[in-house]
Structure 1
Amino acid sequence: MLARDTFLQGLKPTLHIAHRGGALVAPENTLEAFRLAVETYRTDMIELDVHLSRDGEVIVAHDDTLERCTDGTGPLAALTLTELRKLDAGYHFSPDAGRTFPFRGRGVRLPTLREVLRAFPALRLNVELKPDVTGGEDVLARLLKEEAALERVCLGSEQDAIAERLVQVLPDACHFYPRDALAAFILALKAGEVPPEDARYSVLDMPLYFGEVRLVDDALLEAVASRGKWINVWTVDDAAEMDQLLREGVGGIMTDRPDLLRQRMDASGKPG
């Protein structure tokens, strides 16, 4: 069985997906956030982002610079893993608009993807490769193979060029649609046309809204399901929207509020 088929096998709506581990409840893209999502909020999947350090380690982080989430400065790619480990990745996190910083000075670090894979050996991950660096896809592919993690990872990029290179090096893995391919698929459906068939991509990670237009509706969900694909919606932090998506039966909800999503899922009485 192909890795992408194994990844999708047994998935049932609606998945609880912690976006960056739950960026509004703990320092994003850290082991602390991931543990909280898994152990407290029973998340089904973690969404995370990766970059390469100067010495070629796969680092879990969203930004290509260090200022927003750590006490460091400058490009992440300019530092080695050893240098990155010295930074405080909980330094700027505040649950109350800057009044308190409960994770500051508590040893929160930028993790490597290898550490995350080993810390949660049974957990599915949605992994976005961020930088458009030639060879980055090879480093990521090699790591996933070394850790025997291909069957529990769906990977890709917002950028079509990076996503296409990932497909080339890991053709049997689960891949999510990049921006342009996703737009072509959605726009065709919304126009009542047959969307372009693209067997490379199995998962639609997509926004709930485009401007003021709500993209997800019953017709879209039916069209996606009929083509054997899966849909996850990001980033949903509003309780009313969560409730509606649960009623509609969307594949997965990506949220920065895994606490609120767990509450709404439990209140709905639906499994998950």
Structure 2
Amino acid sequence: MKHLCVAHRGFSGIAPENTLAAFRLALEQSFVHWIELDVQVSKDGVPVVIHDFTLERTTNGTGRIKDSDWKELQQLDAGSWKNAECLGEKIPTLAQVLDLCHGRVSLNIELKTTGDMYPGLEKAVLREIMMREMQNEVVLTSFDRSALRRTKELNPEIRTGLIIDARPDDLAKQLEKLQCSFLSIGYPHLDRYLLRDLTGRGITVMAWTVDDCRIMRRLSALHPDLMICTNWPDRWEQAFLLSKRRMWHYIRKLIRFR
């Protein structure tokens, strides 16, 4: 299948998002080719994997990530909000996730920042990646264009991508100006023309976040190289692998009865 499956914050439909439990579950699915995750920095400079700028929704803590040091963050429960079985699941560091995924899947690492919220974020993330020689296994993405520019200044060779939930007329020019070879875009903005134009320019496109099998199949008809990001990778399997198996079963039956 060319429509690569991207597990959004891990297998977050079942496990608590952005935790090692969610990443391990995603890795158990043979058809998951990429995992998407979010990175911020603790008060003492440790890159941590969590989506919200504040702790309340996905942990039993309160306040902003940037105001807590790593020792405080690692004491929090980041699992029981999802289900009782995940009680005690922790906020992971980027280092832990990189070690877990190295050589197994590619990673779409979103730099969660805005403006000057996290001075040094890009440098800290790149340091962890380069220490493990994983630069060919990752793409660094962000809504924040300044973060993408800083990333390229620090390492011109690292792959970067813009995240956008819109469709400006000059999108291709914006990507070129940012030196981005990857686009993460809200799926309602996609059509065949845009995908043909961007892929023709060497841009890899990922649609987010798609949890409906029918929408997955509709998007797949737009272009064979489109990546599909989902909270439920098993639905990707239902949309593509299972339908493909049914097709081959039908073909074998036809051959057998000739």
* TM tier relative to shorter chain: 0.7 to 0.9
Shift of 1:103: 3.0
The aligned counterpart of 2:242 is 267
**What letter is aligned with 2:96?**
E
CA distance in 2, matches of 1:201, 1:13: 21
Q: Secondary structure of the residue that 2:207 maps to in structure 1? A: strand
Alignment partner of 1:39 out of 28, 50, 56: 28
1:176 offset after TM fit, Å? Answer: 0.3
Which runs of no fewer than 5 residues in structure 1 stay unpaired? 1-11, 94-100, 210-214
- Aligned position for 1:217: 191
Would you say 1:85 and 2:74 are equivalent positions? yes
How much does 1:66 deviate?
A: 0.7
| CA distance in structure 2 between the aligned counterparts of 1:224 and 1:15, rounded to whole angstroms | 17
Q: Deviations over 1:149-204 (max 9, x none)?
A: 11111002101111111111121011002549x854xx237xxxx84543710011
Q: Write the deviation string for residues 49-104 of structure 1: whole angstroms up to 9, x where unpaired.
A: 001011111100001111100111111222222221111110211xxxxxxx2334
Distance 1:66 1:178 in 2: 23
Distance 1:199 1:91 in 2: 40
Residue 254 of structure 1 is matched in structure 2 by: 229
The one-letter amino acid of 1:226's match is: G
Find the aligned partners of 1:237 and 1:81 in 2 and give their Cα distance: 33
Structure number with bigger Rg: 2
Q: Could you say which residue in structure 2 is the equivalent of 1:160?
A: 145
Aligned residues: 239
Does residue 60 in structure 1 map to residue 49 in structure 2? yes
Greater CA drift, 56-65 or 155-164: 155-164
| Other structure's SS at 1:103 match | helix
2:182 to 199, 203, 209: 203
Measured in 2, the distance between the counterparts of 1:221 and 1:175 equals 18
Q: Greater CA deviation, 153-162 or 196-205?
A: 196-205
2:95 corresponds to which of 107, 111, 114 = 114
Specify the SS of the correspondent of 2:177: coil
The amino acid that maps onto 1:29 is N
TM-score w.r.t. length of structure 1? 0.81
1:133 to 118, 121, 127: 118
CA distance in 2, matches of 1:103, 1:81: 24
Question: % of aligned pairs identical?
Answer: 35
Q: Secondary structure at the match of 2:62?
A: coil
Between stretches 154-163 and 33-42, larger displacement belongs to 33-42
- Equivalent residue for 1:16? 5
In the TM superposition, structure 1's runs of 4+ consecutive aligned residues that sit over 3 Å from their partners are 194-199
Whole-angstrom CA distance in 1 between matches of 2:206 and 2:49: 21
